Amino acid sequence: MSNENNEKKSKFKGLLLLLLLFIPIATTTFVVFQLSQRNIKNILEIKNELQEILDKKLNQKWQIEELQKEIDKKWGTGQITVKFVPIIEYGKNEAFNNVSNISFHKPYNDIYTFIGNASRENDFTYNGSINLIHSYSDINAKIRPISDIETYLQRILDSRKGKVWSKTELEQEVVNRGLDVKGGILVEEINVKNNRSSETKSRNTTWKFIGQADDNNDFHFNASISLEHSWNNKIDTTENIRNKTTITKLQNLLDSKNYKNKTWTAELLKNEIVKQDIDVSLEFGGITVQEVETTLETRSFTGGQKVTTWKFTGHGNLDNNGRYYGNVTLNHEWNDTKDTTQEINVIKDELIDLVNSIEYKNKNWTKDDLQDAINAKWVGAGITVEEKLVSQTRSWDEKQQTTIWTFTGNGDVTNQHPYKNTVDIKHNWVELISTTKNIEEIKSELVNILNEKKENAWSQEELQTKVDELYGTKEITVIDPNENNVIHYSMKIKSGKSWIFRGNGEKDSTTNKFKYYGEESITHEWFETISNTISVKNLKDDLQILLDSQSNKQHPWDILKLQNALDNKYGANAIIVNISQQKIPNESGDHYDKYKFTGKSIGINGHQYIDEIELIHIWNPSIK
């Protein structure tokens, strides 16, 4: 019989071990990848804390809803999902009974899967999964002496190190740990001893645990046992290493100037933490550092951008001088590319030739023009241009001028630009007399010409003829920028058309024969009565039907496609549409997108569309 039991135990161990190992395998690759992206932790790091929660119930089964609430209470709702793994009920098996010194009658071993829900789409902390065993018993047989659970009672006492237990708290914790029901075990405080006299006192309290079981009740333990609780009133000042201030200090240390182009070693990093007084040394509970991985952003024989992930773990607690507990993972970005940039002076002669080219013998460069010329000649070189000195004397007499331009090479080890540092280049040029006037000087005359027509519009041809008569042929070009520029006020409408008058001369030119340069945009306004306007508000039903078309019930409109649909129906740009609001979907998944339709110009039916209206498009990706 003994051999048969041993064989069963062996098979069960194998089955359970395989189950515990297999389920997390699928998540391993994903977990490692995620850890390299940001500070997501593997749920394996809180294995012991999860097991402690399971072990609170030694004598009864967890209900999945109750267990989920306990997990949510400690780590937050949604962080970790608990699932029960169905397993057959086992007979007594010492290998999996985590309270093996108690002679339970029907030990059970339930398996629970804890799944971390962290991903790129949320701010949760843990990912991956882990399987843990909850061992418990259904005690419904004989009464046992309370000494059978001495170890577990002592663990309860020792779980509180910085504060004394009260009678009520201790009796309730016995119930919370599942050792017995309320009233089954009572406690009495026997005495308190102070071990030494100081500001921080070490104390011992003796508690007597009294089992209340007898033949007249359902309690489990009888007799009594006295146990000692050692504690002190020292205040624990350690902080979570994940606080914002500490993270900033550690990140600034990683990003130190001397480590922009090289990585840290764990030893150097650990020593620098102490040197900069971020924490004490490890022997006093300080921070340890661990290199998680180094990711190469580029592949090159000359080096490149790299990211090294470091894990900082604080070992501070009540019993040492360490300042932090917990851990945090941070990235160190560095670049070991070799500097191959050259001094910009190597192209100084070419810059002199460019700046003093024949085209700019009698005129000054503008910064933009010179920058464009540099970019065209040295494509992608990253050279920037600044005007350093401009002659302060300007006159209409012929005069020798000098402008100094500073050229800056922006190359370094972090980019591919070939030149570094700066060089100044002189531009010597002769300023000549210019007689060309800005067309702005005759703006009022052009306005008077436009206003000769009070009740109708000019045509481009007749307006050009009029301007040529007054100012000379080809001196000024009349441009019609918009053939249908009409402003509506009522059925008796004020109409307006913008005209651009462009002088064909060049500013400061001594070779151009025309009198005027620049351009002026002037609006000719007149009043006329029309009867073909239509308010877009009258098109409300038609526009709503267009919005709610079957092809767009599951997704939002593409604004360009919606505009094309309007153009096809009413004429190009007769009605303009813009999206004015997108609301977050409600619980049923309905999206409410608000669109504004504005009448702008004459449509294909000859009507002028005016006014504006807002309509809502309701769509749901779940609609079949």
Give the pairing type, strands 107-117 and 80-85. Answer: antiparallel
Co-location of 494 and 553 in the same domain: no
Q: How many CA atoms lie within 13 A of 609 on its CB side?
A: 27
Q: Where are the alpha helices (DSSP H) in 159-191?
A: 167-176
Phi, psi of 205 (to 5 degrees): -120, 130
CA-based radius of gyration for the chain: 42
Q: How many CA atoms lie within 13 A of 593 on its CB side?
A: 20
| Range from 20-34, 100-114, 273-287, 430-444 that averages highest in pLDDT | 273-287
Could you tell me if 522 and 463 lie in one domain?
A: yes
Mean pLDDT (whole number) for 611-624:
86
Compare 232 and 154 and report the one with higher pLDDT: 154
Let me know the angle formed at the C-alpha of 529 by 563 and 452, rounded to the nearest 5 degrees.
Answer: 105
Show the tokens assigned to 349. 């002669």
pLDDT in tens, 258-282: 888 888 999 999 999 999 999 998 8
Q: Are residues 256 and 221 in the same domain?
A: no
Question: What would the two tokens of residue 373 be?
Answer: 């010329």
More confident residue, 179 or 524: 179
* Number of Cβ atoms within 10 Å of the Cβ of 234: 15
Q: What's the rounded Cα separation, in Å, for the pair 160 and 234? A: 12
Q: Please check whether residue 529 is in contact with residue 493, taking contact to mean a CB–CB distance below 8 angstroms.
A: yes
- Average pLDDT of the residues in 572-600: 86
DSSP-assigned beta bridge partners for residue 400: 430
Residues 461 and 499 in one domain: yes
pLDDT band at 619 (very low <50, low <70, confident <90, very high): confident
Classify strands 437-438 and 419-431 as parallel, antiparallel or unpaired: unpaired
Shared domain check, 539 and 595: yes
Note whether 90 and 107 are within 8 A (CB). yes
The reply to whether 2 falls in a domain is: no
Task: Work out the pLDDT band at 304, boundaries 50, 70, 90.
Answer: confident
Which of 161-165, 361-365, 511-515 is predicted least confidently?
A: 511-515
Residue 603: inside a domain, yes or no?
yes
Residue 22 falls inside a structural domain? no
Residue 28 lies in a domain: no
Examine the domain organization and report whether 187 and 208 are in the same domain.
yes
Q: Where are the beta strands (DSSP E) in 490-568?
A: 492-503, 516-517, 519-529, 533-535
In angstroms, the CA 68 to CA 77 distance is 9
Q: Does 31 map to a domain?
A: no
3-state helix, strand, coil in the chain (%, to 5): 30, 30, 40
Q: What is the pLDDT of residues 116-143, one digit of tens each?
A: 999 888 989 999 999 999 887 655 546 8
Separation of alpha carbons 580 and 539, rounded Å? 19
Final residue before a domain boundary, out of 397, 431, 465: 431
DSSP 8-state secondary structure symbol assigned to residue 459: P
Confirm whether 36 is domain-assigned. Answer: no
Assess whether 555 and 598 both reside in one domain: yes
- Per-residue pLDDT tens over the stretch 364-392: 899 899 899 999 989 888 899 998 865 54
| 3 state DSSP class of 96 | helix
% of the chain beyond a pLDDT of 90: 30
The arithmetic mean of pLDDT across residues 500-523, rounded, is 80
Who contacts 29 (Cβ-Cβ below 8 Å, separation ≥6)? none
Q: What is the DSSP letter of 380?
A: T
Q: Which residue has the tokens 């209900």?
A: 63
Per DSSP, the chain holds a count of helices (H) and strands (E) of 13, 27
CA 50 to chain CA mean position, Å = 30
In whole numbers, what is the pLDDT of the chain averaged over residues? 80
Evaluate whether 574 touches 603 at the Cβ level (below 8 Å): yes
List all residues 6 or more positions away from 310 whose beta carbon is below 8 Å from its beta carbon.
254, 264, 269, 289, 290, 291, 292, 329, 330, 331, 332
Q: 3-state class of 32 per DSSP?
A: helix
User: Residue 26 carries which side chain, given as an amino acid letter?
Assistant: A
- pLDDT reported for residue 530: 56
506 and 547 share a domain? Answer: no
As a whole number, mean pLDDT of residues 147-165 equals: 88
> Looking at the structure, do residues 580 and 597 belong to the same domain, yes or no?
yes
Closest alpha carbon to 359 in 344, 350, 347, 369: 369
Confidence (pLDDT) at 582: 78
Work out how many domains the chain is built from and give that number.
6
**Same-domain check for residues 421 and 444:** no
Residue ranges of the alpha helices (H) in 330-385?
Answer: 348-355, 367-377
- CA torsion sign for 479, 372, 363, 402 is positive
Whole-prediction pTM:
0.30
Angle at 135 between CA 128 and CA 187, to 5 degrees: 120
Residues 114 and 80 sit within 8 Å (Cβ to Cβ) = yes
Looking at the fold, whether 447 and 495 belong to one and the same domain comes out as yes
Specify if 575 maps to a domain: yes
Closest C-alpha among 191, 94, 204, 211 to residue 143:
211
Kindly report each contact of residues 581-588 with a partner whose C-beta sits within 8 Å and lies 24 or more positions away, as own/partner. 582/556, 585/620, 588/620
pLDDT at residue 413 in the model: 67
Q: Collect all residues with Cβ–Cβ distance below 8 Å to 149 and sequence separation of at least 6.
A: 102, 179, 221
Domain of 216, in residue numbers: 144-231
Closest CA to 539 of 610, 484, 604, 485: 610
Out of 90-99, 329-338, 586-595, which region has the weakest mean confidence (pLDDT)? 90-99
Kindly state whether residue 294 falls inside one of the protein's structural domains. yes
Could you say which of 316, 335, 354 is where a domain stops?
Answer: 335
Q: Which helix (H) or strand (E) holds 113?
A: strand 107-117
**CB 147 within 8 Å of CB 134:** no
End-of-domain residue from the set 169, 196, 231 = 231
Is 60 exceeded by the pLDDT of residue 16? no
Question: Given a cut of 60, is residue 522 above it in pLDDT?
Answer: yes
Q: Which residue has the higher pLDDT, 434 or 225?
A: 225
Query: How sure is the predictor about 332, in pLDDT bands with cuts at 50, 70 and 90?
Result: very high
Pull the structure tokens for residue 99: 């309270």
CA dihedral (92, 94, 98, 102) positive or negative: positive
Q: Are residues 79 and 116 in the same domain?
A: yes
Residue 459 CB-density burial (10 A; 0-12 exposed, 13-18 middle, 19+ buried): exposed
Most distant CA pair in the chain: distance in Å? 127
